[in-house]
Amino acid sequence: GEDVEQSLFLSVREGDSSVINCTYTDSSSTYLYWYKQEPGAGLQLLTYIFSNMDMKQDQRLTVLLNKKDKHLSLRIADTQTGDSAIYFCAEGKTSYDKVIFGPGTSLSVIP
């Protein structure tokens, strides 16, 4: 079945890079997403990558996709205290299909 897994917690020092890892099971997933949720807030679409891509860079964010291993990662360069949040990895088969979320990784940035 469809499942997305992530480590639950990550703690980094301000200025360091953060790497959040995710694995998924559905090889037919076309869309792979990263959403950010700040305390008490909604889900903000951070970035996404299509399954036919290996990498996508967007300012401080780099997404790497290893389709063979069904492994997705999000790297945040120069992590700031404002990056403290829960980061959800998610997958979708098609543009209109439901999105399956991982449990979220709680990122804590230590000043």
Partner 1 sequence: EPEVTQTPSHQVTQMGQEVILRCVPISNHLYFYWYRQILGQKVEFLVSFYNNEISEKSEIFDDQFSVERPDGSNFTLKIRSTKLEDSAMYFCASSEGGLGARGTQYFGPGTRLTVL
Residue 76 as a binder of partner 1 (CB under 8 A): the answer is: no
Residue 42 as a binder of partner 1 (CB under 8 A): the answer is: yes
> Binder to partner 1 among 65, 102, 107, 109 (CB under 8 A)?
102
Instruction: Closer to partner 1 by CB, 34 or 83: give it.
Output: 34
CB atoms within 10 A of CB 92: 18
Instruction: Closer to partner 1 by CB, 74 or 102: give it.
Output: 102
In sequence order, what are the residues at sequence separation of 6 or more whose Cβ sits closer than 8 angstroms to the Cβ of residue 62?
A: 55, 56, 74, 75, 77
Only segment of 11-19, 54-62, 74-82, 97-105 that touches partner 1 (CB under 8 A): 97-105
The CA distance from 64 to 70, in Å, is: 11
> Binder to partner 1 among 24, 33, 34, 87 (CB under 8 A)?
33
Strand duo 9-13 + 105-110: pairing: parallel
DSSP secondary structure code for residue 83 in this structure: G
For the bound state, the minimum distance from the C-beta of residue 33 to partner 1, rounded and expressed in Å, comes to 7
Given CA atoms 56, 62, 68, 71 in this order, what sign does their dihedral have?
negative
Binding residues for partner 1 (CB under 8 A): 31, 33, 35, 41-45, 48, 50, 88, 90, 92, 94-104
